[in-house]
Amino acid sequence: MAIGNRYLGLIDRYRDHLPVNDDTRVISLGEGNTPLIKLKNIPNLLGKDIDIYVKYEGLNPTGSFKDRGMCMAVTKAVEDGSEAIICASTGNTSASAAAYAARAGIKAFVLIPEGKIAMGKLAQAMMYGAEIIQISGNFDEGMELVKQVAKEAPVTIVNSINPFRLQGQKTAAFEIMEELGTAPDYHCLPVGNAGNISAHWMGYCEYKKNGVVNNSPVMVGYQAEGSAPFMRGKMVDDPETIATAIRIGHPQSWDKAWVVKKESNGWFDELTDQEILNTQKMLSEQEGVFCEPASAASLAGALRDIKTGKIPEGSKVVCTLTGNGLKDPDTAIGQCQQAETLKSIPATLEAVTKAVLAEV
Ligand code: AN7
């Protein structure tokens, strides 16, 4: 067995495919190289002959796929001499920006919507020492403010309108193709700003163009019903969903995502909050994989489309699980019946033995 192959993050790994040179000071936390887990119990339950893989991006350093893009964006910001970065965020971008800024030794300003960011994400932004600017408005309003402020102040925007973000995020597609030895038939993602679906498509096209693979997937984007501008065909002004990560009504990569849909012969669809939560719970219970609500939209949508036959049997399907379940403990506990019935018993061998015997 080879030894000494320390993984040093995706910029090191994919240097030849990214806009860096030998002199670039790389800002990395070891992001990327996440597990591609083949589901076993859920396909059995479905009774369908189908290969479903989940790409568990929640295992990145700050618990979401954002780290792939953020390591590139912050590396380039530092290279360009920037001393402060700024973003608007539903939570994960701010956690990631805050961490990479800390690592680089620069300042991070994060605009977050009051009351609509999951507790884990808020804890992260605070712990990493970001300048938190809470607004009484939603993500879309925050994003517009960030664009304006960046014209007035010496700060680099690290939302996905920063092109280096998508460069970093495309590497998730590289990893999938390398592991499968091919592109999947379908790739399903949750869609908010649509940066990630666009980045994946870039990655797939790049490897196909270079002859690494000779196929590319159908790209499928799933939104939450109350926050589904791609289904409405226009921007949504008051987006609402329990999946706060994708509570976005004015997607920043609007045009790009429509191109992805067209070029890949893909589609968009929407899910109710209840469908999203049911799938989040099912994935945890059946497979031992805990993702945040927004992430479960990819699998929830895929399962529905497999059931109806829109995604045919015999397909290889990859669903991106964009964020870790620990990001949003409140929503998780809130949907577990056990949380309501949980009561203490005496700390005695007799009582505990009785409790175990009652359930085996
Ligand atoms: C878990 O953090 O936009 O379609 O500000 O956190 O590329 O926007 C988060 C987005 C999916 C949607 N899943 O990805 C932010 C933010 C999770 C996310 C998305 C987000 P895009």
Q: What is the pLDDT of residues 86-135, one digit of tens each?
A: 999 999 999 999 999 999 999 999 999 999 999 999 999 999 999 999 99
Q: Is 58 in the pocket of ligand 1 (CB under 6 A)?
A: no
**Percentage of the chain exceeding pLDDT 90:** 96
Q: Note the pLDDT of residue 336.
A: 87
Over residues 154-176, the pLDDT tens digits come to 999 999 999 999 999 999 999 99
**SS3 state of residue 247:** coil
pLDDT of residue 3: 78
Contact 286, 41 (CB under 8 A): yes
Whether residue 60 has its Cβ less than 6 Å from ligand 1? no
* Any atom of ligand 1 within 6 Å of the Cβ of 292: yes
Q: What tokens were used for 9?
A: 């993050």
Minimal-distance CA residue to ligand 1 atom 10: 245
Contact status, residue 256 vs residue 194, Cβ threshold 8 Å: yes
Q: Confidence band (pLDDT; 50, 70, 90) for 218?
A: very high
Taking CA atoms only, the protein residue closest to ligand 1 atom 6 is: 245
- Counting from 1 in the atom list of ligand 1, the atom nearest the Cα of 252 is 8
Task: Say yes or no: CB of residue 93 within 6 Å of ligand 1.
Answer: yes
Considering the chain, what is the average pLDDT of its residues?
Answer: 97
At 110, is the secondary structure helix, strand, or coil? strand
User: From the CB of 64, is ligand 1 less than 6 Å away?
Assistant: yes
Residue 120 CB less than 6 A away from ligand 1: no
Q: Which of 106, 36, 46 is nearest to 70 (CA)?
A: 106
pLDDT digits (tens, 9 = 90+) for 311-343: 999 999 999 999 999 999 999 999 988 778 888
CA distance 317 to 327: 25
* The predicted structure's pLDDT at residue 5: 87
First-last CA distance in the chain: 42
d(CA 325, CA 64): 10
Ligand 1 atom nearest residue 95's Cα: 2
List CB contacts of 284: < 8 A, sequence separation 6 or more: 290, 325
- Element containing residue 51 per DSSP (H, E): strand 51-56
Residue 1 confidence class, pLDDT cut points 50, 70, 90: low
